[in-house]
Amino acid sequence: MAEDILVLKDVVKSYNGQRVLDGISLVVKEGEHVSLIGESTTGKTTLFKVIVGLVPPDSGQVIIFGHDITRMNEFQKRNLLKNIEMQFQSGALFDSMTVRENIRFILDEETHLSGKEKETIIEQLLRGVSLWNASENFPYELSGGMQKRVAVARALSTSPRLALFDEPAAGLDPVTSARIIKVIKALVAEHRMTIIVATTNVLMAQQFAERFVILKNGRVHTDGPWPELLAKGDEYTKKFLSRDLMR
């Protein structure tokens, strides 16, 4: 039976007195693919930041690989979270490093591969996202879409047990978007990663997973296979999914 790779129990997070996460509970099993969807202000990015330890929850439990990170010191948390990578919606690249160096930094920090192996991974990933020719460029020399493609390549570079993608193709042209999706799905399948993809786009969500977790007002509104939710969900769920979901 697949292991529970991520367990969230009643996770709460507020900013300036306003609850962004209002008691989130969720279980994701090893090897599972999940699409986390909802409107742009429903807390998807905040939830991702809580999972990767960037933002502490106000209350609740965040159990990753069987360990509650809310009860760990920074050293223990750092070691555990090496098995998780996140692609930030903004890219979050290091401005002082070239594209190649941005990916190499993660490989140096989190793997014990040889230099040659690391360079091979970097080249394969950058070619996959059509950015090999920009490998020596700095982030400020790239467009926003190009920065996002670098961020996706970096998130996949270590073949993490759990990969989080925050709007991986938002703002990209259709051809580049399709390429990004193809690269992500190929590497996820090859390395049998567990992934959670956050998006506001129902069609995009469908590309990655059949299981949809719909957030509304900082809570899990519903969770299940999208065909079932579309057929039997409540009025809000059906309306949300039918906006652009392929039948």
Enter the pTM of the model: 0.87
Judged against a pLDDT cut of 60, whether residue 245 lies above it is answered with: no
Instruction: Note whether residue 191 is domain-resident.
Output: yes
Q: What pLDDT, on a 0 to 100 scale, did the predictor assign at position 173?
A: 77
Residues 156-165 have a mean pLDDT of 88
Is residue 198 scored above 90 in pLDDT? yes
CA distances from 92 to 42, 143, 210 (A): 21, 13, 28
8 Å CB contact between 104 and 122: yes
In a domain, 77, yes or no: yes
Q: Which domain holds residue 181?
A: 4-241
- Long-range contact pairs involving 23-28 (C-beta distance under 8 Å, separation at least 24): 23/60, 23/218, 23/219, 24/60, 24/215, 24/218, 24/219, 24/220, 25/220, 26/213, 26/220, 26/223, 28/4, 28/162, 28/194, 28/196
The enclosing domain of 38 has a CATH number of 3.40.50.300
pLDDT, residue 89, reads 62
| Residue 247 scores a pLDDT above 50 | no
Residue 247 lies in a domain: no
Q: pLDDT at position 244, please? A: 66
The residues facing 62 across adjacent strands are 8
The per-residue pLDDT of the chain, averaged, comes to 89
Domain count across the chain = 1
Q: Tell me the C-alpha distance between 180 and 231, whole Å.
A: 30
* Of 246 and 66, more confident: 66
Asked if the structure places residue 199 within a domain, the reply is yes
pLDDT at 144 over 90: no
Q: Is 246 contained in some domain?
A: no
| Position 41 in a domain | yes
